[in-house]
Structure 1
């Protein structure tokens, strides 16, 4: 949608993502990211915490299931998505406003952690790379269109950088 405010936020999950399903079966995961800016005070020679931001987030469909199965309370994440403003009426009749984020992409921050990524089979639900009714051939479950060299049996490589080429101990470049 044109005119959306797209942001990236880095912070910690305040709780485990909550996975729910709509009446039509669409998955949605809701979670909150806490992000606190830090600045260095040269006078006191110390880091100071700013005002924390608690951003309510939601993510839909397969990504929601991936988030619920992969991320947990306290983990540092990087998320990007569109902000939306929601107006509501409180129980006392007063009006309120909240700013929330519809997450497009999310993953763990690797600043203080490591991660092992497991690729799942893609469905043709759209997104980057298209999908669906435009092509002339059947979709492939292999995102790159070919099997990796030297990796028989369809087993995942032990290294993300494994090209299947024999290693002589020298860098590949």
Structure 2
């Protein structure tokens, strides 16, 4: 196989608020951590074990501003993107490394408030956005009566 693929898809909860950084040219970048959990039963003790992994996510420009506006710590989100490795010099002079998810698409699943409400009510419709889009996610337009008349059944 001659092709390669670098794609990651995550569903998890924000571990912190979106941290924004603005550049002189008008661009911006947003960073936030996402926690994903793996739960299993330990065969020897029979107790449930949960392992949490943390993923550093990066969004750019308009998508970063949308995330900053609508996401907060504890919210559940779906992100899709590419893994990128980065290295830099720390304040102590040591070389540091990190792996980041450069987000290309995201969907807001639930807010922390909605997740905590275990009572009735329906789940909100997810909001999906592509980081290449320049407009915030919108709800689908309602169907008109005329659209129903064109159906063959």
TM score, norm. by length of structure 2? 0.68
Unaligned runs of 5+ in 1: 120-125, 132-140, 142-155
Per-residue deviation at 1:96? Answer: 2.4
Kindly indicate whether structure 1 or structure 2 has the higher relative contact order, using CA contacts under 8 Å at least 6 residues apart: 2
1:23-49 per-position Cα deviation (integer Å, ceiling 9, x unaligned): 100122211112222224456555320
2:37 is matched with which residue? 36
SS at match of 1:15: coil
Structure 2: distance between partners of 1:24 and 1:78: 29
Structure 2: distance between partners of 1:4 and 1:88: 25
Q: Tell me the number of residue pairs that the alignment of Structure 1 and Structure 2 aligns.
A: 134
TM score, norm. by length of structure 1? 0.61
Say which one has the larger Rg.
1
Superposed CA RMSD in Å reads 3.7
Structure 2: distance between partners of 1:118 and 1:54: 22
Indicate how the Cα distance of structure 1 residues 27 and 10 shifts in structure 2: closer, same or farther if over 3 A, else same. Answer: same
SS at match of 1:102: strand
Pick the structure with more strand per residue.
2
